[in-house]
Structures are given as structure tokens and as C-alpha cells.
Amino acid sequence: MQKITKEQLTEKAVSLLRDGTVTHVLGWSAGEFDYDITPAVFSDEASLRKSFVWNDFCGANFSKYLVSKTRGIEGKLLVFLKPCDTYSFNQLLTEHRFDREKVYAIGIPCEGMADIDKVKAICGDGISSVNCDGEKLLVQSIYEDAPISVSPSDVLAERCVNCKSKKHVAYDELMGEDGDVLDSARFDEVSRIEAMSPDERFLFWQNELSRCIRCNACRDACPACTCEVCVFNNPRSGVENKSPANNFEEQMFHIIRAFHVAGRCTDCGECSRVCPQNIPLHLLNRKFIKEMNECYGEYQAGETVGSKSPLTDYTLEDLEPGEVFDRGDINA
């Protein structure tokens, strides 16, 4: 269902490697399964042609990789950025986290990525391969003879259903067409929870957060979490917590993490994508984004380089902390 093809991307990467524009290519390579895609750095044509992959499971946000992968290389690194990735790209530039000169960024269109759990819900377990015939996904299971045909829209990942933008906000070169910022319904779920009673909200989050196994996947995938030393790994931070010491620690973890990325989170949705327990962690971040939009004016992290996040800014007339609860008509 992606409009741009793997072949187009491979040829592009090969030509840039050949003419010396870049020396390395950050791309996707197949994992154990078709839906289990791994980011990889390629530095020669042969390996690119052999392992480079592009399909409906290439959801990983590459921006974060630029922080580590641009270090210690001579020459430039080619990176393919989906529209949502470009926001993280800008945000990381705002925070001076990588050297822009070392990157050659190509914006590529994205039609939305598939969620393997949704595929499994339709096709069952034991999936051996997933292919695309241009329209439908063809899912082959070890239990069936013929592949099951699935409509991509039925298995679209949550973050892609609520895609906020098909527009690239940063690139050196654009392949395919640029889209627009979309009028998404991404805050609807946050509003739904806000409308609950405090008890219902508590039960909702108790149910979700109780499943956390504190694997750190959310943090490790998050493009806003690029700290040299994470506070949770730092014995002097007072919240060091590498393994679950008691039940309580993990829940602090998610609040603190959400606060740390507040104003910097681009709402890329990686945290929820990678959560093995399917905790909707993005809702915590979206709550902050929604709240800041409503209280301090619309702000989209990463829309431009160098912007000031609402939490590093203020006006003399800001709402008092007590008043955020009473602004009924803002919510209306």
C-alpha cells in the first residue's frame, strides 16, 4: 500500500552512494519475520541490494538513530524520513543532538504503517509471510494454504489512523509528493478519558500501567529520549531505577518520562508502537500536548527548528495551576 517502492528507494540510495553524496545509508533490513523490521546502516551497494527492505512495517522513526549513527563516520549519512519522522528530525536539531551537515535527508511519502497485532487479530497466529499486491496485504499463515487478503486500512496502526501530518517539515530532497498537515482526531481518546470520573480514570490507568514490565522499550525508541545519561540510569538523580524495585517505581517512571519529554515530544507514537504490553503510552504525551495547546496556544514540537517549547516559555497571563481544572469552556 506504500506509494513509493523499495526499488525506487534502493536505486536512490545506490546512486547517492555511487556519486559520493553519502557514505552510509540508514535503512530498514528484514528481521526474522516480514513484519519484524530492523533498522540498519549500509555502506555498500551489495548489502543494500541484498538486505534493504521497505514495506508496511517500516514504522521505526529513524531520527533518533541519527544521534548515534552520525558520530564517528566520515562523510554523510543518508536517511529516509517519513513525514512524522521529520518532526523528530527538527526537534533533535533544535536540541543540537546531531550535526545537520552529516546528514542527507530524503523525505518519503507514507501511506500509514500496519500494526502486526491488528493483522494477527484478523489472520491469527503463525504468520509466515506478509506481502503486498499493490492493493491488499497478502498474509500467509503456516496453518493455511492460501494467503489471506487483508485490506490495509483494517490493520492501520493507531498512530497512522490519527496521522497528524503528511507534510515533510525537513529534508534535503523529496521523493514523491509532499502532503499537508492533517486535521486529525488524535486528541479524541484523551478527551474521552478526561470526560471520565476520576475513579474511572484511575481504573483505566491502573489497568494499563499494571501491565508494564519495565522493559524500557518506550524510552529506548523515543526520539525525545536521547539523553547522554538517562535520569533513570543515574544513581545521583534520586530516581535511579534500572529494575523494578517495587510496584510503585514504574508508575513514577511513566509520569516522569512524560514530563521529561513534554514540550519536546512530537507525538510520533513510537512509545506505544514498541510497547510489548500494548500500553497506550502515547496518551500520556498527547495529554500534555493537548493541555499545552489549550493553555498556551497551539504548539507542534519539531515543526520548525529552534522553536521554544511552552515549558521553556511563559506569558504574564498564564492560567494558575488550580485554574487548569476549571476551564470548562476551553474544553468545550
Partner 1 sequence: MQVKEYKPLIVAFCCNWCSYAGADLAGNNRLNYPAEVKIIRVPCSCRVNPMFILRAFQRGADGVILCGCHPGDCHYTSGNYFTRRRMAMLFSMLDFLGIERERTRVEWVSAAEGAKFAATMTEFAEQVAALGENKRLEDLRCKK
Partner 2 sequence: MQRIGVFVCWCGSNIAGTVDVAAVADALKNEPGVVFSTDYQYMCSQAGQDLIVSSVKEYSLTGLVICSCSPRMHEVTFRKTAAAAGLNPYMVEIANIREQCSWVHKEMPIGTEKAIILGKAAVAKVNLNAPLTPGESPVTKRALVIGGGIAGIQTALDIADAGFPVDIVEKKPTIGGKMAQLDKTFPTLDCAACILTPKMVDVAQHENVRIFSYSEVTDVKGFIGNFDVTIKKNARYVNEDICTGCGDCVTKCPQKKVPNEFNLGMDNRSAIYIPFAQAVPKVATIDPAHCTMLKTGKCGVCSKVCKAKAIDYTQKDEYITEKYGAIVVATGFDPISMDKFDEFAYSQSPDVITSLEFERLTNAAGPTAGKLLRPSDGEHPQKIVFVQCVGSRCDSCSEKGKEYCSKICCMYTAKHAMLTRDKYPDTEVYVFYIDVRTPGKNFDEFYRRAVEEYGVHYIKGMVGKVTPEGKKLMVRASDLLDGKQLNIDADLVVLAAAIEPDKSARSLATMLTASMDTNDFFTEAHPKLRPVESPTAGVFLSGTCQGPKDIPETVSQAGAAAAKVIGLLAKDKLKGNPCVASSDELMCNGCSSCEKVCPYGAITYEDKEFRMPDRTTRIRRVASVNPAVCQGCGCCTVACPSGAMDLRGFMNEQIMAEVDAICK
Interface residues with partner 2 (CB under 8 A)? Answer: 71-72, 94-97, 224, 226-231, 234, 236-238, 260-261, 264, 308-309, 311-313, 316
The residue from 169, 170, 284, 301 that contacts partner 1 (CB under 8 A) is: 284
The residue from 121, 229, 324, 330 that contacts partner 1 (CB under 8 A) is: 324
Question: 265 burial class (0-12, 13-18, 19+ CB within 10 angstroms)?
Answer: buried
The residue from 264, 287, 301, 302 that contacts partner 1 (CB under 8 A) is: 287
- How far apart, in whole angstroms, are the C-alpha atoms of residue 227 and residue 207? 30
- How far apart, in whole angstroms, are the C-alpha atoms of residue 233 and residue 73? 27
- Is residue 219 a contact point for partner 1 (CB under 8 A)? no
As a dihedral over the C-alpha atoms of residue 24, residue 26, residue 30, residue 33, rounded to 10 degrees, the angle is: 160
Contact 282, 163 (CB under 8 A): no
Taking CB within 5 to 8 Å according to partner kind, which of partner 1, partner 2, none is near residue 96? partner 2
Binding mask 240-279 for partner 1 (x = CB under 8 A): -------xx-xxx--xx-xx--x-----------------
Work out how close the CB of 76 gets to partner 1 at its nearest, in angstroms, rounded to a whole number. 38
Contact partners, residue 284, CB within 8 Å, separation at least 6: 254, 255, 258
- Is residue 38 a contact point for partner 1 (CB under 8 A)? no
Taking CB within 5 to 8 Å according to partner kind, which of partner 2, partner 1, none is near residue 308? partner 2
- Locate cell 487483508: which residue? 150
- How far apart, in whole angstroms, are the C-alpha atoms of residue 163 and residue 33? 26
Work out how close the CB of 64 gets to partner 2 at its nearest, in angstroms, rounded to a whole number. 13
Q: Cβ closer to partner 2: 88 or 226?
A: 226
Contact 116, 124 (CB under 8 A): no
Work out how close the CB of 331 gets to partner 2 at its nearest, in angstroms, rounded to a whole number. 27
- 53, three cell numbers: 527492505
Nearest to 49 by CA among 18, 15, 14, 5: 14
- Is residue 26 a contact point for partner 1 (CB under 8 A)? no
The residue from 20, 125, 228, 325 that contacts partner 1 (CB under 8 A) is: 325
Contact 96, 44 (CB under 8 A): no
Taking CB within 5 to 8 Å according to partner kind, which of partner 2, partner 1, none is near residue 203? partner 1
- How far apart, in whole angstroms, are the C-alpha atoms of residue 232 and residue 225? 11
Taking CB within 5 to 8 Å according to partner kind, which of partner 1, partner 2, none is near residue 321? partner 1
- Is residue 205 a contact point for partner 1 (CB under 8 A)? yes
Q: Cβ closer to partner 1: 151 or 331?
A: 331
* DSSP string of 170-234, one letter each residue: --SEE-S----B----TTHHHHHHHTS-HHHHHHHHHHHHTT-----HHHHH-TT---SS-GGG-
Work out how close the CB of 100 gets to partner 2 at its nearest, in angstroms, rounded to a whole number. 13
Q: Cβ closer to partner 2: 235 or 328?
A: 235
Q: Kindly list the residues in this chain that would bind partner 1 in the complex (CB under 8 A).
A: 190, 193-194, 198-207, 209-210, 212, 231, 237-239, 247-248, 250-252, 255-256, 258-259, 262, 284, 287-288, 291-292, 295-296, 310-316, 318-325
